[in-house]
Structure 1
Amino acid sequence: MCYSAQIWAEHRKYVRAFGVEIDIKEYVKLFWQRNENDRIKVPKAMEESFTAPQGEDEAAIKSLTDAYKVQQADKLAQELFKQRKRLADAQRSLTAKTTKAATEATRIASTKIEWLLAKLADSRRTELKDSDSRIYPGYFAPVLIVENGKRLVRPMRYQCRPAGKPAAYDTRYPGTYNARRDSLEGFWKNQFGYTHGLMVVNAFFEHVSKPLKNASGAQTESVILEFKPRPVQDMLVACLWSHWTGDAGDDLYSFAAITDEPPEEVAAAGHDRCIIPIKPENIDAWLNPDPTNLAALYAILDDRERPYYEHRLAA
C-alpha cells in the first residue's frame, strides 16, 4: 500500500512539464467546498501555489484560502483559550489538594496547549518544506489525465470512490487509495482500461513492522519508512480515477495509485507492495487506454521505471 506520498502539488509545474490545461473550475470548487467542510484536506503546498494568482479564478482561490486560514486560526485560538482555562483550573485544584484527576487534567491541557501553539505557528509559516507536499488517504492532489483529447490536471481525492457506489463505500473500503494490480480486472474493472491518470511522486511512505529494541520473543513496533528513488527522480505513478455523482447532485473526483509486488529492497525493508512508475514515453498510451487491448496496458505497467528505493525512518 502507498500510505503516503510526496507529490508535485503546484499546478503550474504540470503546465511547464507536460503542456497541460488546468481544470481551474474544479480547483475553485474544491477550495470553496473546503471552506464549508474543513474535513476536506489539501496539502499546504497546493494551496500556496495560488499566492500570486493569475486571472480571476486563481484570485478567487486565493481569497477562499485566505478566508479558510482566518477561520482555522480562530478555531485554534478558541481551543487554546479553552485549554489554558482548563490548565489554570487544574493548577488551582492542585494547590489545594493533589488529586489524580487534577494531575491528569494538567498533563492533558499542557500537551494540547503545546500542540495548538505549534499548529498556530505552522499556519502562519510561508516558507514551504518538503512535508508540505505530502498527501495521505483522503487528501486532494493534482492528477494528470486526458479528457476530450486534451491533457488536463484536475484535483482529485486520494481514495477512490467508484461511480455508482454509495458514499458509505469510503468507510466500507478504506483502502481504496491503492488499486492492486491483481485486482485490475476485478474490483477495478470499470476504471482499468477507461479512466487512467498519473500522479508525480518523488518519495513514498509505508508502515512496516520492526522488532522492538532489547525485546525478546515476537514483539514488534510499527514504524514509518520513507522510500526515495535512486538516482533522484520524479516518478510518474500509474493511477485509476472515477467521477462519482450522488443523488443530490453532489459529485467527487477521486483516484487510486496502482500497486504491485515490491522490488527486493522494498520487500527487505518489510513492505509487501510498491507503486508503479511508468516511463515518460508511455504517458500518452497510458492516459488514452484502449479497453479492448488490456494486454497493452499491462505491458506498460511491466515496462516500468525501476529505480533503487533507498529507505530511512521518516521524520
Structure 2
Amino acid sequence: MCYSAQTWADYRRYTRAYGADIDIREFYRLFVRRNGGAKLPVPKALEDAFLNDPDSKMAEIATLIRQHREAEAVRLQQLVFEQKARLVEADRQLVQKLTKKWSEERRIATDKIEGALQKLAHLNRAQPRDSDSRIYPGYYLPVMIWEDGRRVLRPMRYLCRPPGKPEANDHRFPGTYNARMTSLEGYWSGVFGITHGVVLASAFYEHVNRHRAEQRSLAEGEKVEDVILEFKPRPEHNMLLACVWAHWTAPGKEDLYSVALVTDDPPPEVSQAGHDRCVIPIDPSNLDAWLQPDRNNLAESYRILRAKEAIRPYYEHRIAA
C-alpha cells in the first residue's frame, strides 16, 4: 500500500503544466473548516503556495492560513510553557526521591517540549524542503479531475470514503487510501468507471520489514523491525498516479471529497525490497481518457491501467530519512 507519497502540493504547478482550473471554493471551505477546529492536515507546501500567490483571488485563503499559523504558534508556545513547569516539578521531586513516576513525568515533559519546539520551527520555516510536499493518510492534497469539460484541481482527503459507505469505514478499513486493482469492481464499484483522478508524485513510501528489505531471513532471536523505504523512479521524473475519488454526502454532515491511489502487484524490485503493492503511473497520452471514464466500458479503464507495463520505471529504494 502507498503509505505516503511525495506529491505536487503546490497547485500552481498543475495549472502551469496541465492548464487545470483551481476549485477555489473547495480550497476556501477546507481552510475555513480547519480554522473552525476541524482536524484537517495539509502539507506545508500547499499553504506556502497560497501565501506566495500574487493573485488577489487567493488573498482570503492566504489570510485563513496566516490566522491558523498564528493560532497554532500560540498553542505550541502555551504547551511549551506548561511542560516546562511540569519538568521543573519533576526535577524538584526527583531531588527529594528517585521514583519511577517522576522519572516518567520528566521524560514525557522533555519529549513534549522537544516536539512542540520542532513544530514551531517547522511552522515558521521559510526555506522549503522536499518533505513539505509529503502526504500521509488523512492529509488533504490537490487532485486533478475532469469536470464541466475541463481539468479541475480540488482538495481531497487521502483516505477515500465512497458514496453510501458509513463514516465508520474510515476506522474499520483504515487502508482505504489505496484501491487495489483487483477490488475496483468490488468495494470501489461506486467510483471506478465514474470518478477518476490523478495525483502528481515523484516518490512513494512503504512500511516493510527490515530483514525483507535486506533480502534475508530473520536471525535467531531477532525481532521483526519495521522500516520505511522511499521508492523513486529512475530516471527521476514526476508520475501521473491513477486514483479514484468520491464525493460523499449525508444529511446533517459536511460534504467530503476523498481519494485513493490505485495499486497493483509490484514490479520485481519493489517485491524484493519487501512490499507487495505498487502505485500505477498513467501514460500522459491517456490522461484525459482516464479522467473521463465510461462506466459502460470498464475495459478501457483497465486498458489504461495495464498500459503501465510499457511506461513503468525502475523504482530505486533507500531507507527514508
What TM-score results when the alignment is normalised by the length of structure 2? Answer: 0.95
With over 3 angstroms needed to count, the CA separation of the structure-2 counterparts of 1:75 and 1:247, relative to structure 1, is same
Tell me, yes or no, if the aligned pair for 1:25 and 1:57 is still in contact at 8 Å.
no
Query: Distance between the aligned counterparts of 1:295 and 1:52, measured in 2?
Result: 43
Q: Secondary structure at the match of 2:259?
A: strand
Offset at 1:215?
4.4
Offset at 1:142?
0.6
Offset at 1:311?
0.3
Query: Distance between the aligned counterparts of 2:75 and 2:281, measured in 1?
Result: 40
1:1-315 counterparts in 2 under 5 A? 1-211=1-211, 215-217=219-221, 219-304=223-308, 305-315=311-321
- Deviation per CA, 1:169-228: give whole Å up to 9, x if none: 211211110000000111111111110000001000000012399942563211100000
Q: Alignment length, in residue pairs?
A: 315
Query: Distance between the aligned counterparts of 2:70 and 2:93, measured in 1?
Result: 35
Tell me, yes or no, if the aligned pair for 1:73 and 1:120 is still in contact at 8 Å.
yes
Query: Distance between the aligned counterparts of 1:57 and 1:311, measured in 2?
Result: 41
Higher mean C-alpha deviation, range 69-78 or range 193-202? 69-78
Query: Distance between the aligned counterparts of 2:307 and 2:219, measured in 1?
Result: 43
Where does structure 1 differ by over 6 angstroms across 4 or more consecutive aligned residues?
none
- Deviation per CA, 1:55-104: give whole Å up to 9, x if none: 44410111000000011111111111111001101111122222222222
- Deviation per CA, 1:246-281: give whole Å up to 9, x if none: 211520100100000000000000000000001000
Tell me, yes or no, if the aligned pair for 1:19 and 1:151 is still in contact at 8 Å.
yes
Q: Secondary structure at the match of 1:64?
A: helix
Query: Distance between the aligned counterparts of 1:43 and 1:293, measured in 2?
Result: 36
Query: Distance between the aligned counterparts of 2:290 and 2:68, measured in 1?
Result: 37
Query: Distance between the aligned counterparts of 2:244 and 2:37, measured in 1?
Result: 26
Query: Distance between the aligned counterparts of 2:178 and 2:306, measured in 1?
Result: 18
Query: Distance between the aligned counterparts of 2:38 and 2:126, measured in 1?
Result: 20
Query: Distance between the aligned counterparts of 1:295 and 1:94, measured in 2?
Result: 69
- Deviation per CA, 1:114-160: give whole Å up to 9, x if none: 22112111111011100010000000011010011111011100011
Offset at 1:296?
1.1
Two-structure CA RMSD over aligned residues (Å): 1.5
Tell me, yes or no, if the aligned pair for 1:10 and 1:45 is still in contact at 8 Å.
yes
Identity across matched positions, percent: 54
